[in-house]
Amino acid sequence: MFGLSHLFYPWGFILQGLAIVHFVRRRPENYWFYIIFFGGFLGAGVYIIAEVLPDLGLLRGVFQGFGRRSRIQIVETQILDNPSAANYEELGELYKDQKQFEKAREAFTNAIAARSDSVYTFYYRAQASLGLGDFDAAIHDLERVVTSDRKFDSYRAAGLLADAYAQTGQLERAEHLYFDVAQFSTTTETLYNYANFLKLAGRPEEAREWALKLLAKKRTLPRYMQRYERPWFRKGKALLKELAATKVPTEAQPRTQS
């Protein structure tokens, strides 16, 4: 058996290195680290088959990014001749998908200046503002969206507005919205944001309950969705650790002697 070891050198170390890099970047379950580290060539191979190869499906966004950049150049050229609301909306969506939120918001603002009757444009501009961390601007647009349709985008607009309220200290307004959102929306985003709101509201036990609901949802999702939603599950785990670290001990503190 040891005589075959030369067949795996140095490929075993290379495979382990690739597996560890992927593990650090994607952060799957912690037990995979021990499988990679102690399992050598075989452990790294198992990890790559189980975790890396399925993740290749997520690379579609990388290749789509090249197409979006090309399309951005085309639309920007079209706008020179035809600065219509539709062209600005498309440009804003392209920039938003590229996470260039400042440019996206500017494009949506230009679209609204040309035509202000599309609730979708206000919604997309709000998402760009959230990407920039500008909660006040996002609230202004989301209030318009939710006022027109409380169920807009399957309650996601209301959920984003509630989270923006919570982030700006408007906890009563946030709670009022979450009364509906938490009942009808069970997305990972909503579950995490509601748990985080409960933490901000000083209700740690309820926050822990909803964070656990978020992590329990992972078991009900197909594998490809578990990978797609992994950032929210990671946030949920971090929130649980934060809640555990800040929990006030119930036992009495020792008395100091006089």
Q: Is residue 108 part of a domain?
A: no
Q: Which pLDDT score, from 0 to 100, does residue 55 have?
A: 59
Q: Is residue 181 part of a domain?
A: no
Q: Which pLDDT score, from 0 to 100, does residue 36 have?
A: 72
Q: Is residue 47 part of a domain?
A: yes
- What's the 3-state SS for 35-93? HHHHHHHHHHHHHHHHHHHHHHHHHHHHHHHHHHHHHHHHHHHHHHHCCCHHHHHHHHH
Distances (CA, A) of 113 to 89, 104, 107, 130, 157: 11, 14, 10, 20, 22
Distances (CA, A) of 163 to 104, 184, 206, 211: 21, 16, 16, 15
Q: What is the pTM of this model?
A: 0.72
Residue 25, domain extent:
10-54
Q: Domain total for the chain?
A: 1
Q: Is residue 24 part of a domain?
A: yes
Q: Is residue 115 part of a domain?
A: no
Q: Which pLDDT score, from 0 to 100, does residue 66 have?
A: 55
Local mean pLDDT, 10-residue blocks, the chain (258 residues)? 47 70 67 71 72 58 60 92 95 94 97 94 98 97 97 96 97 95 93 97 96 92 80 94 75 42
Max alpha carbon distance in the chain (Å)? 84
DSSP letter at 221 equals S
Q: Is residue 62 part of a domain?
A: no
Q: Which pLDDT score, from 0 to 100, does residue 57 have?
A: 55
Cα–Cα distance for residue pair 183/140, rounded to 1 Å: 24
Q: Which pLDDT score, from 0 to 100, does residue 217 have?
A: 92
Distances (CA, A) of 85 to 35, 78, 93, 110, 217: 54, 12, 12, 7, 40
